Structure 1
Amino acid sequence: MSDVEEAIIQAHHEEWARVVAALTRRFGDLDIAEEAAAEAFATATERWPATGVPPNPGGWLTTTANHKAIDRIRRENKRDDKHKEAQMLYDDDPPEPLGAIDDERLRLIFTCCHPALAMETRMALTLRMVGGLTMPEIARAFLVQETTMGQRITRAKAKIKAARIPYRVPSAEDLPARVSGVLAVLFLVFNEGYLATGPDTDPVRHDLTAEAIRLTRLIRALLPDDGEVAGLLALMLLTEARRTARVSASGELVPLDQQDRGAWDAAMVAEGHRLVRERLASGVAPGRYQVLAAINAVHTSARDIRDTDWSQIVALYNQLVRLDPSPIVALNRAIAVAELDGPEVALAAVDRLEDALAGYHAYHAARADLLRRLGRSQKSRAAYDKAIELAGNTAETAYLTRRRDQLR
């Protein structure tokens, strides 16, 4: 890959959200903003290899995208009021008020997470516009087809347009009503970095996990008394602490029970444990992220996998199921049950999830492992084959392939 190609990719990652958001505020139309931004990046791909990367790539992209948007509005010839706005173009525009949030990316996420939209819709829209995730990555995060996710985002844009939902910077009073959606977005961004779902990316994307942690820290500074903010930060820290131990030198995923715990980031673990203890001491009933953080705290408290308190983990999953009765939570609970009550009991629980999780690779991977432990090699091999077929992460695929090939 050439230096120019790398520069374009880096600019796309850093500038896409800002350009789209700026154009949406200016022209009041998400479709125009996204199309103009896409055309600007396409133009960069054509021109930069010949002319070189401009000194200010972000400014170049914004200016080019503005021109593209204006050209489209003129062609449509039916947006007179928008056409007048389009004449007020570039850096001489008066700056918008920042509101309660100084960080630009976090401000954009809060802006996109408008409570007038359904939770899943605002999450998907924000991931597309601001989170840096592609449409296939977003679809995999929600366990739906890419076409289905595309339709959801299209409907969200249509609702914004029809209801004239204002695209404005939220005030401090707006934050509590929007924070749950923002946390959900950051959790999905973190998960995509923790275990990338696409075959054409690094198996672990530190850029996404680090950015999710940074933004969650900023939210904690804004809302220090929000238990779920603290819980999500603790969860991210306790998960990120294990990052360097999760992929072997050969590029294969290393499961928790085989990781070198001495390679974990002790400072992150300590900070995560402190946040969990603070929430427990508050006496307030925990939410979903706080329970997930507590589960991870139990895992990271054990010096060895054999020291893990599985009864406590199952009890926490029982609490989590009441808060979030999703099939993925039920699957993770069953994996913990296998350590406490044995693989036979766990397999029965996993099999009940087939209708909900038939297209989810982790479901088949869990079945394969339980069947392997029960000595049912033929069925285990078939489950491994299905998990490998559905998995996109290269490190995870390598691990599953090796486990399958070890079967007699």
Structure 2
Amino acid sequence: MIDKQHLINRFISYVTVDTESDPESETTPSTAKQWDLANALAQELKDIGLTEVSIDENAYIMATLPANVDHEVPVIGFVSHFDTSPDFTGANVKPRIVENYDGKDIVLNEAENIVLSPDYFEDLLLYKGKTLITTDGTTLLGADDKAGIAEIVSAMEYLVNHPEIKHGKIRVGFTPDEEIGRGAHKFDVEKFGADWAYTMDGSQIGELEYENFNAAGAVVTVKGKIVHPGYAKGKMVNSMYIATDYINSLPRMETPEHTEGREGFFHLHTIKGEVDSTKLQYIIRDHDREHFEARKEMMQQLADELNAQYEKEVISVEIKDQYYNMREKIEPVMHIVELAEKAMKKAGIEPLIKPIRGGTDGSQLSFKGLPCPNIFAGGHNFHGRFEYVPVESMQKAIEVIVNIAQLAATKK
């Protein structure tokens, strides 16, 4: 399979390019710096021998590995995103290589006493003896989803260099702005031309996912009235107090830190407040469509109750759906999940099928007509300073991609 050091070098060349996306921007890509990696990736795809390499005005990249069989084979796609999360800085990433991990604490940054410890992150113990790539404690790593890109590019390079491995036509797609929910918004499914695809955007080795949250974003705006505090009796309306009442009226245990599996939540992620005006930003998540709709209705109902209490509109709620659970689009074509399972088992991996507590480009692509389950890319602790990826997991992901390509071209 792909040389280990070659894979490490490729991955590091990606993560050291800052591609943080910006939810406040209205452009695509949302940040100009995403073009730096996008243009480099398009050139790299040409350099390794792919055809039909294109990059459009919104930085969506597509390329083809032509079939090397004569019989009819489905066209399969592999998709990853090159932006990184705005939750934590991706500027000046300085990856650290930990060879033959011993299962103990990893000091990421001695000066700031930042330690990656298996006492807190128990998954580390799965990778004793492996080679880990970590951060230096001051940035995220960007394995979400530059590990996926490195795996797809490496798998395509391997197939180009080993024509004895038979496969059908394979399409590759790389997207901007997935981390802000827009990765598939301008993805041209018709141009991509695949029968189905897989996002390489999961976490630990073995993950295979075909259901995800239904998702919405909510902006709650509270209006107050500012008056000189010395003469405020009966006149001042403090929007922050009303906002606090609203926050406390939502189910306190239905938040990310208290939920798991298929349990949904309300997540308050931003507050900006003054006496005169307060804005709350929430995300709403639930795997069950009916529960999802009920959560949205609850947020509006609480606002209506507060407005009735104050006998005027002091609070308004704007809710926008972001993506839906792809399960309803994957279940009619479950053979594509079964193919991925078979590919994993061929690589000596036990598939770990579970719901995604988040979303991927695949959820939106599935609703645009491109069924797209999600496969592990190997990273852990995304979106923060404790992010890491085992190199061996990335190598296994490459093997899974190659196996999928080969199995899909096998005559029945």
TM-score between the two structures when normalised by the length of structure 2: 0.27
Q: In proportion to residue count, which structure has more strand?
A: 2
Which structure is higher in RCO with an 8 Å CA cutoff and minimum separation 6? 2
TM-score normalised by the chain length of structure 1: 0.27
More helix by share: 1
